Amino acid sequence: MRPIEQRALQAYREQFLAEPILVASAPGRVNLIGEHTDYNGGFVLPCAIGKRVAIAIGLSQSTLFYSADFEERCPLLEKREGSWADYPSGIVRAMKDRGFDIQHVRCAFAGDVPLGSGLSSSAAIEAATAIALDALFHLEIEKRDLAVLCQHAENAFVGVNSGIMDQYASLLCQAGTALLVDCRSLEARQVPLNLAEAHLALLVCDTHVSRELGATGYNERRQACERAAHILDVKDLRDAHLDDLDKLSSEDRKRATHVVTENARVLQAVLALQRQDFGAFGRLMYASHRSLRDDYEVSTPELDAFVEIAIQTSALGARLTGAGFGGCAIALVRSEDTGVLTMNVRHYFEARGFKQPEFFSFHPETGAEVVK
Ligand code: GLA
């Protein structure tokens, strides 16, 4: 069992003075490329990271959630409260709404996915709850259906209009691979990512810039995409071509340009990974960042600075990851260069008066699983 799963187990024992029936966990994610494409019916390429939310679960007289991180108990919520308990409540309700026979449970949660950093701590708690309930009540729901259920819970109960990427990544990713998802057909395919063999590392930089204002920006971007698809008379922007975009207003044209070019980059990135051409893969990451900065306009000075310093440090590629408006950036670097890149970024951020960033390297991890 991983330490975080031990913590959830221990919290359950202490809170409920009993043994749980099972322990499960689900990871956060980093998206390698394919940003703001999921809600446009396009492609994404995320990986699971080694930071997870764990759950210990057992039967009970009435449903009760405990968070070891917030040291707080909470009953099953009727409606959104703006707290961590929204997520498990949303999942229980979504399962009941679909007619699954869910009895009362008590759960203890523990997690080490940073909150509000764009690493999908919310998808991780949703996926962990969903996989634990599925196993406990022998529901045998397929992981991709669990992901769709989690997304519905997030949209309907939590009230965030996100796409399918985060929940898919948390449930379906596997160790050593990235996950190519066609967000229209919902087909997913593992793409091997042998970084260690190539002496490469993926470095994540958490800029610690809160993404709170991002919710408005995210919804605005979604609306611009829907407007553009409507004007172009296509189902989703996935179906648009660069030549068609002249019909759009200048702002909508920029947004659509990002989506159309980003979708193409994801498919090229997968081909690059298949031929182990990490140089080409990295160039696509840089191109993705420029597009997110100039056309989609979701970058920040901190994220741009990280990418500039990555270029100067000869990283193979770098880009913001997740929704943008703060949060994290990633770089693909030679393993021996991670130290110098983090040092250069720290110095620059300090000199500019930015918040001190946090770094971690990761290898693609296993998705949601029951561990005990
Ligand atoms: C957030 C959303 C995802 C996706 C990304 C942008 O992480 O939850 O569905 O839209 O932003 O790629």
Q: Summarize pLDDT for 140-167 with one digit per residue, the tens.
A: 999 999 999 999 998 888 777 889 999 9
The rounded Å distance from CA 114 to ligand 1 centre is 16
| Mean pLDDT, range 66-77, rounded to an integer | 97
Nearest atom, ligand 1, residue 120 CA: 7
| Mean pLDDT, range 276-297, rounded to an integer | 98
The rounded Å distance from CA 126 to ligand 1 centre is 15
The residue among 319, 287, 315 whose CA lies nearest residue 303 is 319
The rounded Å distance from CA 21 to ligand 1 centre is 33
Asked whether the predicted pLDDT for residue 360 surpasses 90, the reply is yes
> Candidates 166, 186, 223: which one to mutate for ligand 1, based on the most atoms within 8 Å of Cβ?
166
Percent of the chain with pLDDT over 70: 99
Give, using CA atoms, the residue closest to atom 8 of ligand 1: 162
Residue 362 CB less than 6 A away from ligand 1: no
In DSSP notation, 93-125 reads HHHHHTT-----EEEEEEE-SPTTSSS-HHHHH
> Candidates 126, 152, 162, 170: which one to mutate for ligand 1, based on the most atoms within 8 Å of Cβ?
162
Residue 36 CB less than 6 A away from ligand 1: yes
Residue 325 CB less than 6 A away from ligand 1: no
Interacting residues of 152 by C-beta distance below 8 A, sequence separation 6+: 94
Q: Summarize pLDDT for 11-58 with one digit per residue, the tens.
A: 999 999 999 999 999 999 999 999 999 999 999 999 999 999 999 999
- Taking the C-alpha atoms of residue 271 and residue 263, their distance in angstroms, rounded to an integer, is 13
Residue 162 CB less than 6 A away from ligand 1: yes
Tokens describing residue 307: 């990418």
> Candidates 38, 181, 303: which one to mutate for ligand 1, based on the most atoms within 8 Å of Cβ?
38
Q: Specify the pLDDT at position 215.
A: 67
Is the pTM of the predicted complex or chain greater than 0.85? yes
- What are the residue numbers of the active site? 166
